[in-house]
Amino acid sequence: MYDGIVQELIDELGRLPGIGPKSAQRIAFHILQTPTFDVSRLSQLLGEVRERVKFCEICGNVSEQERCAICRDPRRNPEIICVVEDAKDVSAIERTREFRGLYHVLGGAISPIGGVGPDDLRIAQLMQRLADGTVQEVILATNPNLEGEATAAYLSRLLTTMQITVSRLASGLPVGGDLEYADEVTLGRAFEGRRRL
């Protein structure tokens, strides 16, 4: 235990995901003892980030404007939509440079145990985007785990009646894993080898 504010800082840092008490202490002392670390910059960013960041009104990706940089980009192919669970997955796929279409962020996956049903996800918004007939293909890029597969199966059934090609990322992604931790090459290959459902 430390005097006042040092312990408070350690406690607050310890509330962040993946930061245990020892890491929190190490970070707090780094901040205290490293004059070159620009603590005011981090403090300011933390203070502003929630106010400045919105979620794209079209795809649900993070954005500082009403529409995200990808939805605003006229060079992106509006005929293909890649459906992902989370905004972090958009970033992971963008790093592969394999995909030039648009995205749709569901905001999670169907999970009966976690109490997440289809109505808790941005599925109605997806159906709305598909209604005008522009989109020719939907790639289901939910995580290759139980919840992600269930969500892909649900969406696949929902889309059978429409004139849209539905595909799923190729296996090659380690099953049971998290899409956001895949390396660029594996994720790129999974895109190339995507199979029709």
Contact flag: residue 134 with a second copy (CB under 8 A): no
**Residues touching a second copy, count (CB under 8 A):** 55
Residue number, 106 or 166, with CB nearest to a second copy: 106
Residues 58, 80, 87, 179: which binds a second copy (CB under 8 A)?
87
Site mask for a second copy (CB under 8 A), range 11-50, x = bound:
-xx-xxxxx--xx-xxxxxxxx----xxxxxxxxxxxxxx
In degrees to the nearest 10, what's the CA dihedral of 158, 113, 147, 101? 60
Q: Which stretch binds a second copy (CB under 8 A): 90-98, 123-131, 154-162, 184-192?
A: 90-98
Half-sphere exposure of 42 (CA within 13 A, CB side): 8
Buried b (16+ CB within 10 A) or exposed e, 56-85: bebbbbbbeeeebebbeeeebeeebbbbbb
Strand partners, 168: 140, 195
DSSP state of 119: G
Residue 57 token pair: 């009104």
Contact flag: residue 185 with a second copy (CB under 8 A): no
Residue number, 23 or 136, with CB nearest to a second copy: 23
Catalog residues that contact a second copy under the rule CB under 8 A: 1-6, 8-9, 12-13, 15-19, 22-23, 25-32, 37-50, 52-53, 62-65, 68-69, 86-88, 91, 94-95, 180-181
